Amino acid sequence: MTIGYRRNSRFLVVLLIATLIVTLSPRLIHNASGAVYQPGVKVGDWWNYGPFEISCSSCPSQPPVPIGFSFLVISESGSNVSLRGTAHYSNGTTVVTTFSGSLDNGSGNLTQVPPIISTGLVPGDPIFNAASAPTINSTADMSYAGASRQVNIVNYTNPFPGGTQVLYYDKLTGINTEVFESSPGFFVHIVLTGTNLWSYHIAMPDDSSCNANDLAPCGFKPLQALVTTGSTVEWDNVGNLTHAISSCTGQITSAQCPSGNDPSLPTFSSGTIQPGSRYSLVFNTTGIYHYYDPLNVGMKALVAVQGNATAPPDFSLSANPRSLSVSAGNSTYASIGLAPLNGFLGLVTLSTSYTTGIDYPSFIGPQGDSFNLGIISAGGTELLVRTSSSTLNGIYTATVTGAGAGVSHSVIVQVNVTGGRPDFTISASPTEILLPPAGNGTFFHPPIITLNSVNGFQGSVQLVAHVSPPGLVVELSSPRCS
H/E/C letters for each residue in 199-210?
CEEEEECCCCCC
Check whether the bond before 294 is cis (ω within 30° of 0).
Answer: no
Query: Looking at the predicted structure, is the pLDDT value of residue 465 above 80?
Result: no
pLDDT of 456 reads 65
Query: Looking at the predicted structure, is the pLDDT value of residue 1 above 60?
Result: no
Q: For residues 42 and 76, what is the distance between their CA atoms, to the nearest angstrom?
A: 6
pLDDT of 212 reads 78
The more confident residue out of 469 and 278 is 278
Q: Give the burial string for 274-301 (b: 16+ CB within 10 Å, else e).
A: eeeebbebebeebbbbbbbbbebbbbbb
pLDDT of 270 reads 96
The more confident residue out of 450 and 323 is 323
Regarding beta strands 278-283 and 300-306, do their DSSP bridges make them parallel or antiparallel, or are they unpaired? unpaired
Which whole-number Å values give the CA distances from 186 to 15, 161, 416, in the listed order? 13, 12, 47
Query: Looking at the predicted structure, is the pLDDT value of residue 387 above 50?
Result: yes
Q: What is the DSSP string of 320-374?
A: ESSEEEEETT-EEEEEEEEEEETT--EEEEEEEEE---TTPPEEE--SSEEEEET
Check: CB of residue 314 under 8 Å from CB of residue 327. no
| pLDDT tens track for 139-195 | 999 999 999 999 999 986 655 566 788 999 999 999 999 998 888 888 889 999 899
Return the DSSP state at 100.
Answer: E
What domains, with CATH codes, occur in the chain?
A: 10-195 (2.40.360), 200-306 (2.60.40.420), 314-418 (2.60.40.10)
End-to-end CA distance of the chain: 92
Shortest CA distance to 52 belongs to which of 181, 148, 171? 181
Q: For residues 45 and 28, what is the distance between their CA atoms, to the nearest angstrom?
A: 33
| pLDDT tens track for 223-274 | 999 999 999 999 999 999 999 999 988 666 667 787 778 888 999 999 999 9
Q: How many CB atoms lie within 10 A of CB 440?
A: 6
pLDDT of 350 reads 97
Side chain identity, residue 48: N
Check whether the bond before 263 is cis (ω within 30° of 0).
Answer: no
Query: Would you place residue 32 in the very low, low, confident or very high pLDDT band (cuts 50, 70, 90)?
Result: very low
Q: What share of the chain in percent tops pLDDT 70?
A: 83
Beta bridge partners of 102: 80
Q: What is the pTM of this model?
A: 0.72
pLDDT of 441 reads 56
Say which residues have a Cβ less than 8 Å from residue 427's Cβ, sequence separation at least 6. Answer: 449, 450, 452
| pLDDT tens track for 392-426 | 888 999 999 999 887 889 999 999 999 866 677 78
* Gyration radius of the chain's alpha carbons: 34
Instruction: Write out the H or E segment, with its range, that includes residue 379.
Output: strand 379-386
Determine the distance from the C-alpha atom of residue 304 to the mean position of all C-alpha atoms in its chain, rounded to a whole number.
Answer: 15
Side chain identity, residue 475: E
Shortest CA distance to 321 belongs to which of 309, 332, 313, 311? 332
Q: For residues 28 and 297, what is the distance between their CA atoms, to the nearest angstrom?
A: 61
The more confident residue out of 377 and 87 is 87
Q: Would you state the torsion angle of the CA atoms of residues 205, 229, 179, 409, taken in this order, to the nearest 10 degrees? A: -110
Q: For residues 2 and 26, what is the distance between their CA atoms, to the nearest angstrom?
A: 6
Check whether the bond before 217 is cis (ω within 30° of 0).
Answer: no
Q: For residues 259 and 248, what is the distance between their CA atoms, to the nearest angstrom?
A: 7
Q: For residues 179 and 15, what is the distance between their CA atoms, to the nearest angstrom?
A: 10
Query: Looking at the predicted structure, is the pLDDT value of residue 476 above 70?
Result: no
Check: CB of residue 99 under 8 Å from CB of residue 77. no
Return the DSSP state at 106.
Answer: -
Which of 57-61, 123-127, 193-197, 312-316 has the lowest average pLDDT?
Answer: 57-61
Query: Would you place residue 382 in the very low, low, confident or very high pLDDT band (cuts 50, 70, 90)?
Result: very high
Q: For residues 47 and 117, what is the distance between their CA atoms, to the nearest angstrom?
A: 14
Burial (Cβ within 10 Å: 0-12, 13-18, ≥19) of residue 444: exposed
Three-state DSSP class for residue 230: coil
Which whole-number Å values give the CA distances from 23 to 6, 34, 69, 124, in the listed order? 8, 26, 23, 20
Q: For residues 255 and 264, what is the distance between their CA atoms, to the nearest angstrom?
A: 23
Query: What average pLDDT score do residues 319-325 get?
Result: 96
Q: For residues 379 and 342, what is the distance between their CA atoms, to the nearest angstrom?
A: 16
Average pLDDT, the chain: 83
